[in-house]
Amino acid sequence: MNYDFEYQEDFLIVKLSGSVEANERLLTKRFLLQSLRPSLRNIIVDLEGLGGGEAVYCVGVLNTLKKEVQLMGGKLKLCSLTPEVSRYFRGNRLDLIFDIKPSIEQAKSSFGEEKDD
């Protein structure tokens, strides 16, 4: 799996793409966690470049990342799911575990909406 990190304002945007191996969670945990900055607590994971077949292996990576972000006092949101990945998430009720938004911009604005609650 390929990872592209973009630091924008108060956000870390992680773009995932490419093929995902069965043991990807173990291979990438350290790499991903080193990229998290304690000062950035708003994490957006963009799944636009991820194929549907890889979604099953990606869930472990996403869950690990979500837990680490929560331990830092942050929040993680997913965005830009392809139709195939979106069906997989809904079919396995992962949409109840992960906060999913249609786009990066909508994910960014949703962090601000939470502050107003």
**pTM of this prediction?**
0.85
Fold held by 2-116: Transcription Regulator spoIIAA (3.30.750)
Tell me the pairing of strands 2-8 and 11-18: antiparallel
Rounded to an integer, what distance in angstroms lies between the CA atom of residue 111 and that of residue 108?
6
6, β-bridge pairs: 13
Task: With beta carbons less than 8 A apart as the criterion, state whether 65 and 88 touch.
Answer: no
Residues 16-74 have pLDDT tens digits of 887 776 666 666 666 666 667 666 789 999 998 876 666 777 888 888 889 888 888 88
83 CB contacts (<8 Å, ≥6 apart)? none
Task: With beta carbons less than 8 A apart as the criterion, state whether 79 and 104 touch.
Answer: yes
